[in-house]
Amino acid sequence: MQKSLKTEFLGITITSPLVLPAGVMGMAFSGFNISVENGAGIVTSKSLTLKSRTGHKGPVVAEFEGGFLNCMGLCNPGIVDGIAEIDQFKKRSNIPVIASVFATNTKDFLELTKHVNKSQTDFLELNLSCPNVFDEFGIPLAASTEEVHNIIMAVKQISKLPVIAKLSPNVYDIVSIAKAAESAGADALCMINTVGPGMLIDTKMIKPVLFNKFGGLSGPCIKPIALKLIYQTYSAVNIPILGMGGVTNGEDAIEMLMAGASVIGVGTAVHYRGIEVFNKINNEILEFMEENEYKNLKDIPKLEKLNG
């Protein structure tokens, strides 16, 4: 029986359910290319701001048992140059691209949306949840149902593309936030962003490992949190979820699908298993499907939804 990883996300057929998340391979179109050549079904830009940002002073990344801590600080070339890289990639590939954008208010999100509207991008992601810029911007927008609702509603009025709301795990009630995004017109949700922020200490130097002191957690250690929040949200909304957080192998990806995700982000695993990780996980999903006699991804069952 022929197995297929083809699936549909927001009206577009993709060859694999695996997504390159924002920031993992930088912003150059070559990073998109190599991800696609190695099996990614969708690629995402870095979170772009109206003007370029250099990000935080290094060190900005630290590995620990179970994952990574990072405080990149939203370094990016700015929306104009970022869109140029996306358009360059789209001239060479028909693989869908998510343009991720970040701002701190509705006005700036609308300006970013206007730029994306003029591009060859397929989807617009509103990053409402970056946890490692507390020093500059305070609590993420995704912590407020009102802010989430108002920003998404305003963007939906002018966006020519499906809108994906990227939510934060660092909130008290993610279901309320997700429902606010859905009611405002979000076409899909992206979750979860990194957890935290957290801190690591250099005991010999007696100072934080990261120059910025705090950073967001990613990697295998956050998978149980991601699965729980995705499952809760899947039980409460009727829009698709781009699920991510600690996916390293095919078994992790299957868990994400069963928890309610429609497609799966693979980020930190690029460090652990190389850029070939997308093909490796694709093959591991196919092996699982073969063992369990599932012909298509849709055949893989979801957990029964929570009541109430």
**pLDDT mean for each 10 residues of the chain (308 residues):** 87 97 76 93 95 88 93 90 95 95 94 98 91 48 87 98 95 94 98 92 96 93 98 98 97 98 96 95 97 95 88
**Res 47: pLDDT:** 93
* Domain-located, residue 201: no
pLDDT tens digits, one per residue of 233-274? 999 999 999 999 999 999 999 999 999 999 999 999 999 999
Q: What CA–CA distance (Å, rounded) separates 189 from 177?
A: 11
Q: Is residue 203 part of a domain?
A: no
Domain containing 110 equals 7-55+75-195+219-299
User: CB 17: neighbour CB atoms within 10 A?
Assistant: 27
pLDDT at 143: 79
Judge residue 154's burial from the number of C-beta atoms within 10 Å of its C-beta, 0-12 exposed, 13-18 middle, 19 or more buried: middle
Does residue 49 form part of some domain?
yes
273 alpha carbon, distance to own chain's centre = 19
The reply to whether 69 falls in a domain is: no
Let me know if residue 294 belongs to a domain.
yes
In a domain, 87, yes or no: yes
User: Of 71, 75, 130, 190, which one is the catalytic site residue?
Assistant: 130
In a domain, 214, yes or no: no
pLDDT for position 18: 98
Residue 308: predicted pLDDT: 54
pLDDT for 96-114, tens place per residue?
A: 999 999 998 999 999 999 9
The count of structural domains within the chain is 1
- The answer to the question of residue 202 being in a domain is no
pLDDT for position 288: 97
Residue 90: CATH number of its domain? 3.20.20.70
Respond yes or no: is residue 130 known to be catalytic.
Answer: yes
Q: Which pTM value belongs to this model?
A: 0.94
What is the per-residue pLDDT for 29?
A: 74
DSSP state of 4: B
